[in-house]
């Protein structure tokens, strides 16, 4: 059984850091810790810590009652489960999963060593290169300030402040306040209330959920159903139980919390269930990015101010990569009204802000990039690189943002500079290879450079890394199919119980179909993936390609049709269907699909020519 917070996590070890006074008025004095630097990637807030002296990246997860490590991290850091601890189950929005407990001899955070710190070990690995998450076992030790928009968080100690709102940074801004349900070691969750279309809904504040999401039951209470006007599919999501749930994006007329009201926005909805907590809405990292927040544990209060920018941002990525769902835009009509709307002129949104340290500029730039505000992100990242031109991390991150902003020449220059200074950074080799192979006007000799990068990344990347799936696809792009299959097989070996396993099956199915080899095994892989992801355009696309190779033309067309119903402009499905239609003698339909495929992606012809498939 897990011991109490203070028994395991060193009691008030952090309090010794809380000596920097940031505000005082009368008897009230607010002291904070040194800042914890937070990097936001793909709407996930990540920090660095140390496990037995070795650096480790963690997600910040206010929705987790305890801190957790992945199975891969347990192996990599040579940790063992505590003998005799059985019967532990974790509850997520997708159901229950078994867990074990491991002990880290010395876990170091903010230069504070925590001896014999206990972590749960779940079934899944974590995204964005994280080895685990930091939850209530750490975040309940003090009041916490979350300033993800500026790439920071702090632990806070208010003294003699009575009922004074603790948002000490709010100079001229209106402060929102939410009463939280009483918290304890057994129930550390941040639960308050908000209103959706006028109906009161129980809310969980959860930085571990990238995008805010409302349950179908709460949505129905607010007058929103799957058949309401404007509701459309938005992909799938999964949690600790490794079960996939469908999600939809729905118009919301009015959302209000504290003194803030948002009109004409869009929000994700899904059929999740958090059991006896009766949560109707999870406010995720998108809400934390657009607000500056402090959680007052002892008061059971949450205070916030508005940073500016979109609150519920649905416009930049799919819920799951290769999900096949069409991207959902938040829409230009979303409007913030009410008292907190004046906060849009906060320092985060001002380009006249005084010069800041390079690290802070980098973190803020990445937060803006996570919201899809690439030009504003590049403004900060350019300043960070100018202040610290030798920092390879800043150049690499700027290169990724240039790439996302469709500036491949600038991205390539950054990747080249990073690799010259840090030749063992396999992520940079992968990024450059992907850029060069997907860039129509890539410089001469790019294929040779990309091939070298792929081979170097394969040597350097951890065996269990999700990057192995990317390597499999890249090896297939350059025609090295045996190497592609070795990469995906290695990933599948380490992830046999992972929620992302269907992505591995689908990747292997596509690679085999592209190579025109082991087609019946490919069919089995795709069928297994489809069983877990029945609405995946990517899996249907792979099935269509396998059937095309097998000359099952009618079945191929059916699968491509199914893919295109989910993602109408999927270039590979359009081109594959065209080939099947032309082979069946349907010239007009085939030529129309060829034209549509080339319009969606001019490079699709090269991809199919590489597979020796042509009209």
Which segments in the chain show pLDDT lower than 70? 1-26, 82-98, 123-124, 184-186, 238-243, 275-276, 313-356
CA distances from 598 to 347, 404, 571, 585 (A): 45, 22, 7, 20
188 in the same domain as 337: yes
Half-sphere exposure of residue 335, counting CA atoms within 13 Å on the CB side?
Answer: 6
**DSSP labels, 503-562:** HHHHHHHHHHHHHT-SHHHHHHHHHHHHHH-TT-HHHHHHHHHHHHHTT-HHHHHHHHHH
From 159, 187, 216, give the residue that closes a domain. 159
Q: Determine the pLDDT at residue 23.
A: 58
Q: How is residue 428 annotated by DSSP? A: H
* Total domain count, the chain: 3
* Domain-located, residue 557: yes
Question: Domain limits at 107?
Answer: 5-159
CA distances from 468 to 318, 462, 464, 523, 542 (A): 20, 8, 7, 21, 19
251 in the same domain as 338: yes
Query: What does DSSP say about strands 44-51 and 39-41: parallel, antiparallel, or unpaired?
Result: antiparallel
* Domain-located, residue 203: yes
**CATH number of domain containing 529:** 1.25.40.10
Helix (H, G, I), strand (E, B) or coil at 611: coil
From 95, 127, 159, give the residue that closes a domain. 159
Q: Determine the pLDDT at residue 550.
A: 96
151 in the same domain as 183: no
Whole-number Å distance between alpha carbons of 467 and 479: 18
Whole-number Å distance between alpha carbons of 23 and 165: 12
Q: CB-based contacts of 572: which residues, under 8 Å, 6+ apart? A: 541, 545, 597, 604, 607
* Domain-located, residue 112: yes
pTM: 0.70
Please state the φ and ψ torsions of residue 454, each to the nearest 5 degrees: -60, -45
241 in the same domain as 305: yes
80 in the same domain as 105: yes
Helix (H, G, I), strand (E, B) or coil at 97: strand
* Domain-located, residue 433: no
229 in the same domain as 306: yes
**CATH number of domain containing 148:** 2.40.70.10
């Amino acid at each position: 059984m897990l011991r109490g917070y203070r028994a395991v996590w060193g009691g008030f070890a952090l309090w010794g850091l809380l000596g920097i006074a940031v505000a005082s008025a009368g008897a009230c004095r607010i002291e904070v810790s040194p800042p914890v630097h937070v990097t936001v990637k793909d709407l996930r807030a990540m920090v660095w810590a140390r496990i037995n002296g070795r650096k480790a990246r963690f997600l910040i997860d206010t929705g987790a009652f305890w801190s957790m490590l992945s199975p891969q991290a347990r192996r990599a850091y040579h940790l063992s489960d505590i003998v005799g601890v059985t019967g532990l189950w974790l509850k997520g929005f997708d159901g229950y999963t078994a867990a074990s407990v491991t002990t880290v001899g010395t876990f170091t955070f903010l230069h504070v060593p925590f001896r014999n710190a206990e972590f749960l070990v779940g079934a899944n690995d974590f995204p964005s290169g994280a080895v685990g998450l930091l939850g209530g076992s750490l975040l309940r030790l003090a009041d916490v300030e979350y300033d993800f928009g500026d790439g920071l968080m702090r632990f806070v100690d208010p003294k003699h402040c009575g009922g004074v709102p603790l948002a000490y940074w709010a100079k001229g801004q209106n402060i929102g306040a939410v009463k939280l349900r009483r918290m304890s070691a057994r129930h550390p969750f941040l639960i308050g209330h908000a209103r959706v279309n006028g109906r009161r809904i129980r809310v969980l504040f959860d930085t571990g959920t990238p995008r805010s999401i409302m349950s179908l039951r709460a949505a129905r209470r607010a007058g929103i159903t799957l058949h309401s006007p404007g509701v459309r599919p938005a992909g799938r999501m999964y949690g600790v139980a490794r079960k996939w749930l469908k999600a939809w994006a729905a118009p919301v007329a009015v959302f209000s919390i504290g003194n803030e009201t948002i009109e004409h926005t869009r929000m994700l909805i899904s059929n999740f269930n958090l059991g006896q907590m009766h949560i109707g809405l999870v406010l995720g990292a998108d809400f934390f990015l657009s607000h500056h927040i402090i959680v007052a544990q002892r008061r059971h209060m949450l205070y916030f101010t508005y940073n500016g920018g979109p609150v519920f941002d649905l416009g930049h990525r799919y819920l799951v990569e290769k999900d096949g769902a069409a991207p959902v835009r938040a829409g230009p009509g979303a409007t913030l009204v009410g008292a907190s709307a004046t906060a849009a002129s906060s320092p985060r949104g001002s380009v006249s802000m005084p010069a800041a340290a390079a690290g802070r500029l980098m973190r803020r730039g990445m937060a803006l990039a996570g919201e899809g505000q690439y030009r504003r992100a590049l403004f900060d990242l350019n300043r960070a690189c100018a202040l610290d031109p030798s920092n390879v991390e800043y150049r690499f991150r700027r290169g990724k943002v240039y790439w996302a902003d469709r500036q491949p020449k600038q991205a390539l220059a950054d990747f080249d500079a990073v690799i010259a200074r840090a030749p063992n950074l396999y992520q940079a080799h992968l990024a450059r290879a992907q850029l060069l192979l997907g860039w129509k006007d890539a410089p001469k000799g790019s294929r040779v450079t990309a091939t070298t990068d792929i081979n170097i990344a394969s040597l350097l990347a951890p065996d269990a890394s999700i990057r192995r799936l990317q390597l499999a696809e890249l090896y297939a792009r350059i025609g090295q199919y045996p190497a592609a299959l070795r990469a995906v097989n290695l990933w599948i070996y380490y992830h046999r119980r992972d929620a992302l396993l269907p992505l591995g099956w689908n990747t292997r199915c596509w690679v085999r179909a592209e190579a025109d080899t082991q087609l019946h095994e490919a069919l089995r892989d795709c069928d297994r993936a489809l069983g877990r992801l029945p609405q995946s355009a990517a899996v249907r696309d792979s099935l269509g390609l396998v059937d095309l190779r097998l000359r099952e033309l009618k079945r191929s067309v059916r699968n491509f049709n199914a893919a295109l119903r989910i993602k109408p402009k999927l270039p590979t499905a359009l081109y594959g269907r065209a080939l099947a239609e032309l082979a069946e003698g349907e010239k007009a339909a085939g030529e129309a699909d060829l034209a549509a495929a080339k319009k969606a992606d001019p490079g699709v012809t090269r991809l199919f020519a590489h597979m020796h498939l042509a009209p």
